[in-house]
Amino acid sequence: MKTAFFPPKTLMNLPADNLEGLAALCTEFERFDGHARQMPEHHDDYVEALGIVRGFGMARHAKLEAFPEIGPQRHQNITNIATWFGQLRTRVRGELTSRHARGYFDTKADEYMSLFNRAAVYQFSDPDYQRVQELTSELANLFRSSTLVGEDQKRKLLRRLEAMRAEFHRKTNDIDRFWGFMGEAGIAMRKYGEDLQPIADRVLELGDIVLGVIFATEGIKALPELSQLLLPNGEA
C-alpha cells in the first residue's frame, strides 16, 4: 500500500484461526480508515485493502460476505468498501464473542462437573498454555506452506489441529482431540522422516508439554519418549 498500513509483517503473522485473522484485518482497516478519512486520494489503498481480505479468504477458505462492486465513482467505491468492512467487523466480532462465551461456558461446566465427580482436571501453567497456543499457530502456518505434505493430508492435519486448539483451555478434563491430532501428525512424521523436521520439532514439543500435564495429573512417572513413538527408528 502507499500508506504504512497492512505492512508485510502484519500480513505474514496473522492468527491461524480464520475469525481471529479476519478480526486482525478489520482492526488494521480501522487504523487505516481513521488515517485516510475516506479521502479520494486514498482510493487505491481502500481498493487494495479489500483485495487483501479477498486474498485472505481465498487462501484460507474463510467465510466472507459478498464483495461490493468496484465502479467508476471513487467516492462511492470508498463508501462501499468502508461499509463492507464495518459489516464484516460486526459479524466477526460477534462470532468471536459467542465462541468465547461458549468456550467459557464449556470450561466452567467441565470444571464443576469435575468438582462434583472428582474427576481429574488437566491444568496448564500460564507459560505452558501460552507456548501451546504459539505452537499450534506455528504448526498451522507450516502445514499450509509445506510443499512436501499432500493436500489431502494437509486438510486432515489442519482439521485435527484446529479441533485440538478449540479443545485446549488452561483447565480441561477432555483431551480426546489432542490424541487425534498426534495420531495424524505421527503418520506424517513416520512417512516423511527427517524431511518434516521443522514440523516434527514442534509436534514433539507440543506433545511433551501436554503429556507432562497428563502424567503429573494422573501420577504417571514415565513412559517411552514421544519421539520413539512418532519418529522413524525412534530418532529425535
Q: Which domain holds residue 35?
A: 8-94
- Rg of the Cα atoms in the chain: 22
**Do 77 and 170 have their domain in common?**
no
Tell whether 169 and 126 lie within a shared domain: yes
Q: pLDDT band for position 86 (50/70/90)?
A: very high
State mean pLDDT over 30-47: 96
pLDDT higher than 80, residue 222: no
In this predicted structure, what is the pLDDT of residue 70? 97
Domain for residue 191, yes or no? yes
Q: How many CB atoms lie within 10 A of CB 63?
A: 12
31, 90: one domain: yes
Q: Is residue 159 part of a domain?
A: yes
In single-letter form, the type of residue at position 15 comes to: P
Tell me, yes or no, whether 110 lies in a domain: no
Amino acid letter, 134: E
Whether the per-residue pLDDT at 54 is higher than 70: the answer is: yes
Q: In which residue are the cell numbers 514433539 written?
A: 204
What is the rounded CA–CA span in Å between residue 176 and residue 106? 15
The C-alpha cell 470450561 sits at: 107
- Whole-number pLDDT of residue 168: 84
Question: Is position 12 within any domain?
Answer: yes
Whether residue 172 lies inside any domain: the answer is: yes
- The answer to whether residues 59 and 141 belong to one domain is no
Q: Please, which contacts does 19-22 make with residues 24 or more away whose CB atoms are closer than 8 Å?
A: 19/92, 19/95, 19/96, 19/99, 20/96, 21/56, 21/60, 21/62, 22/53, 22/56, 22/62, 22/64, 22/88, 22/92
In terms of DSSP bridges, do strands 122-123 and 171-172 run parallel, antiparallel, or are they unpaired?
antiparallel
Boundary of a domain, candidates 46, 77, 94: 94
Asked if residue 226 and residue 125 are part of one domain, the reply reads: yes
Q: Are 75 and 125 in the same domain?
A: no
Tens of pLDDT, residues 165-209: 888 888 887 788 899 999 999 999 888 887 888 899 999 999 999
Q: Predicted confidence band at 226 (pLDDT cuts at 50, 70, 90)? A: low
For residue 221, is it within any domain?
A: yes
State the total domains in the chain: 2
Asked whether residue 105 is assigned to any structural domain, the reply reads no
Residue 112 within any structural domain of the chain: no
Domain termination residue (choose one: 77, 94, 111): 94
The position carrying cell 477432555 is 174
Q: Are residues 206 and 140 in the same domain?
A: yes
Q: pLDDT of 130-172, one tens digit each? A: 999 999 999 999 999 998 888 888 899 999 999 898 888 888 8
Q: Which of 63, 66, 62, 67 is nearest to 50 (CA)?
A: 67
Are residue 79 and residue 132 in the same domain, yes or no?
Answer: no
Please, are residues 171 and 179 in contact by the beta-carbon 8 Å criterion?
no
Please, are residues 205 and 136 in contact by the beta-carbon 8 Å criterion? no
In tens, the pLDDT along 87-115 reads: 999 999 999 999 999 988 988 888 787 77
